[in-house]
Chain A
Amino acid sequence: MDWSFIAEHVPDYLSGAFVTLRFGLYGVLLSLAVGLLCCLARFFRIPAARQAAHVYVELSRNTPLLVQLFFLYAGLPRVGVKLSAEACAVIGLTFLGGGYMAEAFRSGLDAVEKSQREAGECLGLTKPQVIRYILLPEALATAAPALFANVIFLIKETSMFSVLAMMDLMNVADTLRTSGGRTIEVLVMLAASYFIILLPISMIASLVERRLRRGEPGHQHSV
């Protein structure tokens, strides 16, 4: 292991991690928004929007991100829609993530007892109030593990941004690998970088999940 090589290239990995995290974060946030909208459209059976959401969710969940990115980046410009690599990255990740987030939200909403909603209506809450104060909080608590799993999944999927010639972690490592020949050092640093990024996210996830489970009937304080 050549430690001076590793020390020399830490800044490269830092800038790669910054790209990975930045576009990963955009993708995650937009995915949450798209997923929530799709899920609500289906839950409240809004005509047209509901069908559109269904088709979208199925398309996004049954195709690989790599193919979606190739279509956006190399296919669409041929019919006059030119997008920058960054735009493709965010649109692609959101297209993929929105479907997964929609399903996670849906499993949460489905788990809310109907009586909860009815009780809210009986108390004179308006429909938006029922959504805001009853449905969403309860659904979110149930959906939290799936939502966090999706966040980790999406950050991992950003490794495919390298096909857009973006200098994310994956591409930084690949460039160093092909130019220097220090394959092992390059790969060890790559793996370590993803680990350092994802470990805190995973720890926050289990912390939040434990918080949310507290007070539930039958909840045990286990690790």
Chain B
Amino acid sequence: MENLGISILFKGVNFQRLLGGLWVTLRIALITMGLSVVLGLVFGLMMLSRVKAFRVWCRVQLEIVRFMPQLVLLYIVYFGFARLFSLDLNGETSAVLVFTFWGAAEMGDLMRGALTSIPAHQRESAAALGLTKGQIYRYVLIPQTLRRLLPQAMNLFTRVIKTTALVKMINVTEVLKVGQQIIGQFYRQPDAAFWVYLTIFILYFILCRPITLLSARLEKRWA
């Protein structure tokens, strides 16, 4: 069985190339998530703000990401912005922009949920015990918010990772594209495509599964 297509994965640097492609998507996901956490905090506070314009903005942004497939948003930024504002963004920048627009909204909504889910008596009891405002946040409110938030934020992170697969559609050379290049090189090996796509499938699984597992464990422990 020396002609099995799986062997091409270990020819030369093919496997490293696939991992390199995976890193491209992971890097986009990491940058997106970093920005989403920071902007999500702002977004969450804006949702709870007394200024109506802030709340309306958040509402609109949430509805847009809820109704538009991420692929459509990617097309709008990558192809549309180039046409509309002569803004020639490359694929990776467009992806970070779009995914952060989406991630910040989702993250903000999660923050709002976590903040409002803490019963008022927690703050009141802390105040009654004589804690200062800073102490109330430091020891009572922020720890409880984080416990509710962290598992959900990790779930969002796996969704961002999976969604970054879409950047292939706007000409970013990520893992699927690298896979296609390898398949093209080994066109004489008929079952190459099967093994390459199976490997990419497994790579994504190996990347996301530990995060969802940890998220579920934390959620159970902190519930």
Contacts and interface: CB of A to CB of B under 8 A. Distances in A.
Contacts of B197: 67, 70-71, 74-75
A191 B212 CA distance: 31
A79 B71 contact: no
Contact of A194 (B72, B166, B208): B72
A64 interface: yes
A68 B67 contact: no
A66 interface: yes
Centre residue among A76, A163, A183 by max chain B CB count within 10 A: A183
B123 interface: no
B40 interface: no
Interface residues of B, number: 41
Contacts of B158: 62
Instruction: Describe A's contact surface by its main secondary structure.
Output: helix
Contacts of A190: 72, 75
Nearest to A201: B67
Interface residues of A, number: 39
Interface string B77-114: 00110111000000000000000000000000000000
Contacts of A65: 162
Contact of B66 (A58, A63, A173, A202): A202
Nearest to A81: B194
Interface string B23-52: 000000000000000000000000000000
Nearest to A156: B69
Given A61-B212, A159-B71, A67 B204 contact: yes
Contact of A74 (B67, B76, B193, B209): B193
Instruction: Describe B's contact surface by its main secondary structure.
Output: helix
B5 interface: yes
A194 B69 CA distance: 8
A64 B163 contact: yes
Contacts of B83: 183-184
A170 B69 contact: yes
B201 interface: yes
Interface string A56-97: 001101111111101100111111000000000000000000
B54 interface: no
A153 B198 CA distance: 24
Interface string B192-209: 111111101100110011
Contacts of A173: 75
A184 B72 CA distance: 12
Nearest to A79: B194
B179 to A, nearest CB: 8
A67 B200 contact: yes
A187 interface: yes
B69 A159 contact: yes
A76 B190 CA distance: 11
Contacts of B166: 64, 66, 160
B194 A76 contact: yes
A64 B162 contact: yes
Interface in A160-209: 160, 163, 170, 173-174, 177, 183-184, 187, 190-191, 194-195, 198-199, 202
Contact of A187 (B5, B80, B162, B198): B80
Given A61-B212, A71-B201, A183-B80, 11 more contacts: A67-B201, A70-B200, A75-B196, A77-B193, A78-B190, A152-B66, A156-B68, A156-B70, A159-B71, A160-B166, A183-B82
19 contacts: A58-B212, A64-B163, A67-B165, A68-B201, A71-B197, A74-B197, A75-B193, A75-B196, A75-B197, A75-B198, A78-B5, A78-B192, A79-B191, A156-B70, A183-B79, A183-B83, A187-B76, A191-B76, A202-B66
Query: Which 5 pairs between the two chains have the least Cβ-Cβ distance?
Result: A75-B197, A64-B165, A159-B69, A62-B208, A156-B69
